[in-house]
Amino acid sequence: MNSLKNRVALVTGAAKGLGKAIALELARNGSVVIVNYLRSEKESEETLTAIRKFSKGSIKIKADVTNEKEVERMFSEAAKKFGKIDILINNVGNFIYKPIDKVSSDEFRNIIENNLFSAFYCCKKAISTMKGYGRIINIGCTGCDRVTIRKMTSPYYIAKTGLWMLTKSLAMETTKGITVNMVSPGVLESSVVKPENSEIIKFSDITNAIMFLLSEKSEKTNGANIEVSGGSVLGAD
């Protein structure tokens, strides 16, 4: 039995890259997918076209998920169309690579809003629409559950560590039938920075972990972090 058939799944930042790969995998497995995007209009249309080969009822919604009112509008549109959200993948994030003392206040705020506040807003709305069943997966990063500090990426790791704490808190506080977990990639094929000797992680490695967390086999898995790094350890350097 396909546990994802006709499930309604919202993927943030799904126009391209990892988000697109996640959205396509969900569609291949029978889910109706909501493609969230902000600026990538052309890419979002191409992604939706590809998704509709597997899931004709899928749609796209333009929304800035760092803005709570935009998130509320997005979920309102989804509710009018589908009546619920079963699956939420918080994929939106942003990255900066520079010394912490060179990071401006606006840059720091942008990283926190994109990687943490966006997930907080979406989780709040998703949980309120989930009816007896819900799966939330937050996209973290290697080491974020171990208070990892890395040179040149401090704001990013601060945000992702906060996202891990949010994941654990929601897992503890949500009602029965709803699980909240995290998948933490190592160095992705699309990563801006690729440290020497790091194993490159494919999008399919991440979608495999996500599909496990969405399967019936993971029904009792809640508040977990699956690190997909190929064994590479990213720590203080």
Residue 97: active-site member: no
Exactly one of 37, 121, 133, 156 is catalytic; name it. Answer: 156
- The residues near 113 (Cβ < 8 Å, ≥ 6 apart) are 66
Dmax over CA atoms of the chain, in Å, equals 53
Strands 32-37 and 8-11 turn out to be parallel
Rounded Cα–Cα distance for residues 202 and 136 (Å): 22
**Which one-letter DSSP state was computed for residue 61?**
E
Q: How many residues does the chain have?
A: 237
Identify the three-state secondary structure at position 71. helix
Rounded Cα–Cα distance for residues 162 and 159 (Å): 5
Q: Which residues are tagged catalytic? A: 156
